[in-house]
């Protein structure tokens, strides 16, 4: 047997074929010329009489069906329902937290914009030479 990238490949050699033929010859029953073939069964087996199925009568002592869930299963179902309720509550809490964080991010953006407006006059306007250097690509 060779193991290739695409799977296994079995290689048959002449010695393995000869070995298996010898094994088959060894275990195969050998018939002699004196043996006679079996007789074919010519008699037909007698048919068994089968009683027709009797119509079942309706029972009068019917009992109510048992509940499909056992007490153990109902305990597990109750536990799973409790877990589900807890997880749904957690989703509500997380949604509220995400909303609050989004509001804080919006407030932060407004504060940064206000800070930029306040600092712009203090930093001064860029000089004409600086703007010209930026446009020509020779600026620092």
Torsion sign across C-alpha atoms 25, 27, 30, 36 = negative
> Which of 34, 33, 17 is closest to 25 using CA atoms?
17
CB of 69 closer than 8 Å to CB of 77: yes
Assign 36 to helix, strand or coil. coil
Asked whether the predicted pLDDT for residue 44 surpasses 80, the reply is no
Q: What percent of the chain has pLDDT over 90?
A: 29
Tell me how far apart the alpha carbons of residues 69 and 75 are, in angstroms, rounded to a whole number: 10
Alpha helices in 31-127 (DSSP H): 71-123
Query: pLDDT tens digits for 45-80?
Result: 555 566 666 666 656 666 666 656 677 788 899 999
pTM of the model: 0.36
């Amino acid at each position: 047997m060779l193991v290739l990238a695409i799977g296994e490949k079995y290689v048959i050699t002449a010695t393995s074929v000869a070995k298996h033929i010898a094994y088959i010859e060894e275990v195969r029953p050998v018939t002699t010329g004196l043996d006679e073939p079996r007789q074919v069964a010519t008699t037909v087996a007698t048919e068994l009489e089968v009683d027709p199925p009797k119509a079942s009568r309706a029972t009068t002592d019917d009992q109510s069906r048992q509940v499909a869930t056992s007490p153990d299963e109902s305990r597990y179902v109750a536990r799973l329902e409790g877990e589900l309720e807890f997880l749904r509550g957690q989703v509500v809490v997380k949604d509220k937290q995400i909303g609050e964080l989004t509001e804080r991010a919006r407030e932060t953006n407004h504060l940064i914009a206000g800070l930029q407006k306040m600092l712009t006059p203090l930093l001064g306007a860029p000089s004409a030479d600086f703007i010209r250097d930026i446009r020509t690509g020779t600026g620092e």
